[in-house]
Amino acid sequence: MTTQQPAPAGATGTTPPPPLGAYDLTDPQTFLDTDPHALWRRFRTESPVHWHATDTPVPGFWVISTYADVVTLYRDNKQFTSEQGNVLATLLQGGDSASRKMLAVTDGPRHSEIRNVMLKSFSPRVLEPVVAGVHRRTRELVAQALERGELDFVTDVADHIPINTIGDLMDVPAADRDRLVEWNTQTLSRHSSEDSVLDEVVARNEILLYFSELAAERRRNPGDDVISALATATVDGKPLSEDEIVFNCYSLILGGDESSRMSSIGGLIAFSENPEEWRRLKDGEVTVESATEEVLRWTTPAMHFGRRALVDVPVRDQVIRAGDVITLWNSSANFDEDVFDDPYRFDIGRTPNKHVAFGHGPHFCLGAFLGRVHVNAMVDALRTMVSGIRLQGPPQRLYSNFVHGYSGLPVALTAEPATPAAAGKVTG
Ligand code: HEM
């Protein structure tokens, strides 16, 4: 079992680490250059409610890093709003063009109304029939990977699973799905510092245009899918606006694909680096459900979310002023030693494991059940079909301060002797 204790972030030998103010959390490069566990431990202990200056039109933002504060502030949608953005990038630009058109950036009664409409399509009961399909598709892709032996786990396996589930639920034509995965990645993160901000904007517009056309078609010919459900839903007798339909489709394709993918990829890396946990999984000492929760905590694909204060709010020894931006760091809260014993240990039997990978409170992830189904299916397929995982090179990290994940993972997988040779055609 690997137990990691982080050294102070930035410390080399006897040199004291740089002050926390030296770390630019708006710069994705910071997260590639720094040991995140060590950095976040310093934030939690030295400056749990930390003012981070910027050179943007917004003068700065608060960095909230303890589990207790993150949960308290997530819960508070009276004193803090999501309507001016819920991630650092939009909050620092001064607003989100999807405000009050997309669930995640809507508050108050309209949030509850739209959430209720969307929950009808994403409740465990409604999704029950989808679960078997996710397991089947995952097993087929893992079987094909085992036949190949050496592969890129991101592009050959993980990229093809959640997009096809959400694609089926939204009835997105199969031929368009690869394009959507590429746009999703460009919208939420970049492969490297060389990809431009313009690529992000173009990709976002491509997705919106794509769903605007699809929604118009479903309005004319509704089917049994989530886009049709949004396009034909009424609240107080009135249909949703065109913008609400399109922006919520955008958020579903993004939320439905990227985070689940990143968790499964990070889970494979974690098992390859923690042979004792791999053995416990293989031997059935620990349930797949429990391992799934630890993979979600360990990988925390959504590193932060954010809000803007509507009134002055005291937090610890600071006062967050009305108008200030706050950022809630899931990637710190999920490793807070006040809540998680031995937090830097990947422990698939961890109980309790009340991580905040899906957020908390009124905006708690709408797709949490589906996200769990995806990670569960991957953990289960690895457990039953794979005997050995060997990384063939360094994983390629995404360039982002929002999504923690990978764009490439060269790996060699060996099959369990009992696994029948892969056959199944991967549909959809
Ligand atoms: C909200 C993470 C999967 C759709 C959120 C939030 C987090 C999160 C942290 C809270 C945002 C906030 O407080 O501002 C994740 C992770 C996933 C995942 C880690 C997978 C491992 C999914 C899936 C879907 C989805 C599969 C779609 C089917 C959404 C939506 C919201 C949301 C629509 C907004 C909910 C609201 O504002 O009421 N997600 N998500 N997510 N997620 Fe997910």
Give a yes or no: residue 350 inside a domain.
yes
Q: What spacing in Å lies between the alpha carbon of 256 and ligand 1's midpoint?
A: 8
Helix (H, G, I), strand (E, B) or coil at 321: coil
Mean pLDDT of 190-201: 71
What does the pLDDT read at residue 403? 95
pLDDT-derived band of residue 15, with 50, 70 and 90 as boundaries?
A: confident
Beta bridge partners of 234: 239
Q: What spacing in Å lies between the alpha carbon of 364 and ligand 1's midpoint?
A: 7
Closest residue CA from atom 15 of ligand 1: 358
pLDDT-derived band of residue 191, with 50, 70 and 90 as boundaries?
A: low
Pocket test for ligand 1, best of 365, 372, 376 (most atoms within 8 A of CB): 365
Closest residue CA from atom 32 of ligand 1: 365
What does the pLDDT read at residue 25? 97
What does pTM read for this prediction? Answer: 0.94
Of ligand 1's listed atoms, the one at least distance from the Cα of 362 is: 38
What does the pLDDT read at residue 229? 94
User: Is the pLDDT reported for residue 427 higher than 60?
Assistant: no
Amino acid sitting at position 123: S
Give a yes or no: residue 96 inside a domain.
yes
Give a yes or no: residue 102 inside a domain.
yes
Closest residue CA from atom 43 of ligand 1: 365
Q: Mind listing the pLDDT tens digit for each residue in 357-402?
A: 999 999 999 999 999 999 999 999 999 999 999 999 999 999 999 9
Could you tell me the two tokens for 262? 């990143």
Could you tell me the two tokens for 232? 């034909």
Q: How many domains in the chain? A: 1
What does the pLDDT read at residue 43? 98
Higher-pLDDT residue of 17 and 80 is 80
Give a yes or no: residue 12 inside a domain.
no
User: Is the pLDDT reported for residue 218 higher than 50?
Assistant: yes
Q: What spacing in Å lies between the alpha carbon of 175 and ligand 1's midpoint?
A: 25
Of ligand 1's listed atoms, the one at least distance from the Cα of 104 is: 37
Give a yes or no: residue 307 inside a domain.
yes
CATH of the domain at 135: 1.10.630.10
Of ligand 1's listed atoms, the one at least distance from the Cα of 307 is: 14
First to last CA, the chain: 39
Question: Which percentage of the chain shows pLDDT scores above 70?
Answer: 93
Closest residue CA from atom 6 of ligand 1: 365
Ranking 105-119, 249-263, 266-280, 329-343 by mean pLDDT, the lowest is 249-263
Amino acid sitting at position 377: A
Give a yes or no: residue 24 inside a domain.
no
Give a yes or no: residue 5 inside a domain.
no
Q: What spacing in Å lies between the alpha carbon of 177 and ligand 1's midpoint?
A: 20
Question: Which percentage of the chain shows pLDDT scores above 90?
Answer: 83
Could you tell me the two tokens for 55? 């050179």
Structural domain of 238: 37-415
User: Is the pLDDT reported for residue 12 higher than 60?
Assistant: no
What does the pLDDT read at residue 199? 83
Q: Mind listing the pLDDT tens digit for each residue in 94-141?
A: 999 999 999 999 999 999 999 999 999 999 999 998 999 999 999 999
Q: What spacing in Å lies between the alpha carbon of 363 and ligand 1's midpoint?
A: 8
pLDDT-derived band of residue 181, with 50, 70 and 90 as boundaries?
A: confident
pLDDT-derived band of residue 186, with 50, 70 and 90 as boundaries?
A: confident
Q: What spacing in Å lies between the alpha carbon of 107 and ligand 1's midpoint?
A: 15
Whether complex ipTM tops 0.90: yes
Pocket test for ligand 1, best of 101, 126, 366 (most atoms within 8 A of CB): 366
Contact criterion met (CB below 8 Å) for 294 and 353 = yes
Contact criterion met (CB below 8 Å) for 378 and 172 = no
User: Is the pLDDT reported for residue 278 higher than 50?
Assistant: yes
Could you tell me the two tokens for 277? 């946990």
Give a yes or no: residue 21 inside a domain.
no
What does the pLDDT read at residue 421? 45
3-class SS string, the chain: CCECCCCCCCCECCECCCCHHHCCCCCHHHHHHCCHHHHHHHHHHHCCEEEEECCCCCCEEEEECCHHHHHHHHHCCCCEECCCCCCHHHHHHCCCCCCCCCHHHCCHHHHHHHHHHHHHHHCHHHHHHHHHHHHHHHHHHHHHHHHHCEEEHHHHHHHHCHHHHHHHHHCCCHHHHHHHHHHHHHHHCECCCCCCHHHHHHHHHHHHHHHHHHHHHHHHCCCCCHHHHHHHCEECCEECCHHHHHHHHHHHHHHHHHHHHHHHHHHHHHHHHCHHHHHHHHCCCCCHHHHHHHHHHHHCCECEEEEEECCCEEECCEEECCCCEEEEEHHHHCCCCCCCCCCCECCCCCCCCCCCCCCCHHHCCCCHHHHHHHHHHHHHHHHHHEEEEEECCCCEECECCCECCEEECEEEEEECCCCCCCCCCCCC
Closest residue CA from atom 5 of ligand 1: 365
What does the pLDDT read at residue 4? 47
User: Is the pLDDT reported for residue 271 higher than 50?
Assistant: yes
User: Is the pLDDT reported for residue 3 higher than 50?
Assistant: no
pLDDT-derived band of residue 177, with 50, 70 and 90 as boundaries?
A: very high
Mean pLDDT across the chain: 92
Pocket of ligand 1 (CB under 6 A): 82, 86, 103-104, 115, 122, 166, 251-252, 255-256, 259-260, 263, 301-302, 305, 357-359, 363, 365-367, 370-371
